[in-house]
Structure 1
Amino acid sequence: MRKFLRTLRRSPAESATVGDLLAGARPGSVQSVGRMQVLPLLAGDAPTADLGDPSALGISTGDYGTLFFRNESPGPVLVPSHLAVIVSQAAQDHAMPRAALVAAGAERSYTAAMCIQQSQGGLIRHGRHRLAVLPPALREAASDLPAEPGYNRLWPAVSQFKNSARVTGAANLVQFLKRFATELDQFVAEFECVDDQIGAVVLMDDRVIGVERAPSHTYWQALWEPLIRFCYGAEAVRRDAAGVPVDLGGRVPLGTSRGGDGADTLSLLAATVRDANAREQAHAETAAEEIGRASILVGVDEAEHDIAVGTVVSDTLVGAYALDGETPVYASLTARGTL
């Protein structure tokens, strides 16, 4: 393993590449809908780890800006980077600025959480709640803020995100989610979580916008809907609402087929589809290889026994990662400059 994997616990930051965090994963078949592509990352020879199921955590708020987590499982649970807790209660929804770890059978308070629903008061009652992940622009804003108390510090970014989608009003992310609920539901239905999947490289308008790698297939299944609906789906819907032109870039149009009888036409069409799929797969894999070479800085925020959790920063990407011993088992990175 690279030197940074051995020295992270002693050093405030080490240089690495995105590919270091994805070691062993192999690409699956690309899925394309509109302006977005998802290249699944399959476990293959990649190391995995049991870091629990974040959807099984008991979550509540004790005051504005503090999230409480209760882990009743026999092992540690990783709280994913930029987790958002969306509840149907009359309560202020909250989000995390980083990833975090909750030890086995433990309770933990995180006092640097952020309110994302300015116009809604009330505290979240303890229980299992629907999880989300912040859209990329809000993830960037959250990562750039210091991880210290300040419940309202993300409100300017929430307002900017909403306004760009022509949703006016307070810094209330839920208003955006309700306004585009139908579009987001449709978006989720068009992508599929596949067997052995532990992550994905996400492209939007021909640019890599996200790199995700979960510690296990079970963990990925818990993250799939929060990521596709609330994070990347929300960004695609925002761009549509803002009138951002669709850039297919390396996507391959089918064109037209001309032939004699119907059988020949169908054969030509099938061949055209196969060729287009192959070229689109190659384009997505090339984009994934390029982002894999991107340089990043990584540093440890916290450690529990053999598990270390830290942040990732660079000029182009922000997010978090986790190590099991000296081995990367989790990464959640989004591109800067999406808004």
Structure 2
Amino acid sequence: MTRLDTLVRAAVDLTGYRLGLPQVAGALTMVPVHGPERPGIVPPRSGLKLNRVVGYGNVELHNGAPSGVAIVPLHIGYIQEGAQNHALCSAALMGAGETRLFEDACCVQAAQGGYLQGRDQWFFVLPVELRAKALALRGKPGYSKLWQDISTVNGRYGLPARGHLEQILTRKRAVLTQFRSRLELLPGQLGALFFVGEKFAGLEIAPDPRFFAEMWMPLVCFAYGVAAWRAEPPRPEPESFAVRDLAELRAELTRSREHHIERLGSWMPADTAMNTVEQERYLDLRLHTLTGAQLAGQVVTEHDRPIYASLFAVH
């Protein structure tokens, strides 16, 4: 496997993380990441619970695990029947049994009505087109602060220019969920590099495979699948190989994938310099916000080693 730190030059130590062979679904390329695990971190779907939405812009979460720190993923959005749906501007650290009110959440519906369906989707992650905007709004009041940006994104997609994110997440859900079925989550995988077209879109690293598995659908379908759906190319002609048997075909496929990963370096941003600011801490864990001209995101470190990272291209 290729070392991640030879491909991604970022203000975080990525030593020990390795890249697998790329998988391609239309305009979306996903490169699996394997590496050191940090057990004991509470995963987001089975551990964190949305307690309530306390009016507009106020979201209360609860870490219901009997032990372990929860990492609230960056830009996670919660769905609640009968209330406005919100997304968080920042990641967070929560102790076992802790309940926390986030007062800087972004409402992602500009008016009553058109609620997302909660029966088969528990949470999402903001599309990458909105993530830099949302990160810049952390700590700032105002529930409607993301509506104009959502409206702009909807307009680009040929949808009504309103601050309703559900126009994408539900009306295009059947298209977006195809990325989950066309890409394979591998055993032991705890992260991924995402590219849309031939451009870097994001790097996601989780503490362990269980945590990443719970983030898989929201990341593949919504955080990066939305941009990939918009950039979906015409269906190409299937690649053909001059082979005589199955063994030769497998060898050709492996060589093709290896050639693909060699090209990824040219798809990375030229400017990866980022400023780092510590956002919060819990025991030995530190949450840092990273901002740069072409990359931004947040990282959780323990003794200066990353155990969670969500870095994305600045649009």
Normalised by the length of structure 2, the TM-score is 0.86
Larger Rg over CA atoms: 1
Q: 1:270 & 1:222 partners in 2: Cα distance?
A: 31
Q: Offset at 1:296?
A: 1.9
Whether 1:276 and 2:256 are equivalent positions in the alignment is yes
Indicate the residue corresponding to 1:110 in structure 2.
Answer: 102
Whether 1:92 and 2:84 are equivalent positions in the alignment is yes
Q: 1:287 & 1:49 partners in 2: Cα distance?
A: 34
User: Which protein is richer in helix relative to its size?
Assistant: 1
Whether 1:229 and 2:209 are equivalent positions in the alignment is no
Match of 2:137 among 142, 145, 149: 145
SS in 2 for 1:54: coil
Answer yes or no: is the 8 Å Cα contact 2:11–2:273 preserved in 1.
no
SS in 2 for 1:221: helix
Q: 2:111 & 2:168 partners in 1: Cα distance?
A: 13
Q: 1:158 & 1:106 partners in 2: Cα distance?
A: 31
Query: Residues 308, 246 of structure 1: CA spacing in aligned structure 2 closer, same or farther, 3 A cutoff?
Result: farther
Match of 2:302 among 304, 324, 328: 324
SS in 1 for 2:124: strand
Match of 2:124 among 99, 119, 132: 132
Q: 2:250 & 2:62 partners in 1: Cα distance?
A: 53
Q: 2:102 & 2:208 partners in 1: Cα distance?
A: 24
SS in 1 for 2:96: coil
SS in 2 for 1:32: strand
Query: Residues 302, 274 of structure 1: CA spacing in aligned structure 2 closer, same or farther, 3 A cutoff?
Result: closer
Q: Offset at 1:326?
A: 2.4
Answer yes or no: is the 8 Å Cα contact 1:38–1:203 preserved in 2.
yes
Answer yes or no: is the 8 Å Cα contact 1:27–1:40 preserved in 2.
yes
Answer yes or no: is the 8 Å Cα contact 1:86–1:130 preserved in 2.
yes
Letter aligned with residue 304 of structure 1: Y
Answer yes or no: is the 8 Å Cα contact 1:208–1:287 preserved in 2.
no
Whether 1:197 and 2:189 are equivalent positions in the alignment is yes
Answer yes or no: is the 8 Å Cα contact 1:135–1:230 preserved in 2.
yes
Whether 1:170 and 2:162 are equivalent positions in the alignment is yes
C-alpha deviations, 1:275-317, integer Å up to 9, x for none?
A: 3223113323x358x5699322221111111111121111111
Whether 1:254 and 2:245 are equivalent positions in the alignment is no
Q: 2:94 & 2:108 partners in 1: Cα distance?
A: 22
Bigger mean CA offset, 141-150 vs 102-111: 141-150
Q: 2:69 & 2:115 partners in 1: Cα distance?
A: 26
SS in 2 for 1:168: coil
Q: 2:245 & 2:18 partners in 1: Cα distance?
A: 35
Answer yes or no: is the 8 Å Cα contact 1:140–1:336 preserved in 2.
yes
Answer yes or no: is the 8 Å Cα contact 1:32–1:38 preserved in 2.
yes
Indicate the residue corresponding to 1:12 in structure 2.
Answer: none
Q: Offset at 1:188?
A: 1.3
Unaligned runs of 5+ in 1: 1-15, 258-262
Answer yes or no: is the 8 Å Cα contact 1:205–1:246 preserved in 2.
no
Indicate the residue corresponding to 1:54 in structure 2.
Answer: 44
Bigger mean CA offset, 108-117 vs 172-181: 172-181
Q: Offset at 1:178?
A: 1.9
SS in 1 for 2:190: strand
Q: Offset at 1:336?
A: 1.1
Answer yes or no: is the 8 Å Cα contact 1:302–1:309 preserved in 2.
yes
Bigger mean CA offset, 176-185 vs 269-278: 269-278
Letter aligned with residue 320 of structure 1: Q
Letter aligned with residue 301 of structure 1: Q
Match of 1:76 among 69, 73, 81: 69
Query: Residues 287, 212 of structure 1: CA spacing in aligned structure 2 closer, same or farther, 3 A cutoff?
Result: farther
Query: Residues 272, 324 of structure 1: CA spacing in aligned structure 2 closer, same or farther, 3 A cutoff?
Result: closer
Q: 1:287 & 1:214 partners in 2: Cα distance?
A: 25
Give me the identity figure in percent: 28
Q: 2:41 & 2:303 partners in 1: Cα distance?
A: 13
SS in 2 for 1:197: coil
C-alpha deviations, 1:124-164, integer Å up to 9, x for none?
A: 9xxx9711110011101112225221100000110011111
Q: Offset at 1:273?
A: 3.7
Query: Residues 276, 64 of structure 1: CA spacing in aligned structure 2 closer, same or farther, 3 A cutoff?
Result: same
Indicate the residue corresponding to 2:56 in structure 1.
Answer: 64
SS in 2 for 1:166: coil
Bigger mean CA offset, 47-56 vs 90-99: 47-56
Answer yes or no: is the 8 Å Cα contact 1:20–1:328 preserved in 2.
yes
C-alpha deviations, 1:9-62, integer Å up to 9, x for none?
A: xxxxxxx9527342211111211111111111002xx35243211112121211
SS in 2 for 1:211: strand
1:231-246, aligned counterparts within 5 Å?
Answer: 231-240=223-232
Letter aligned with residue 324 of structure 1: E
Q: Offset at 1:320?
A: 0.7
Q: 2:131 & 2:286 partners in 1: Cα distance?
A: 21
Unaligned runs of 5+ in 2: 1-7
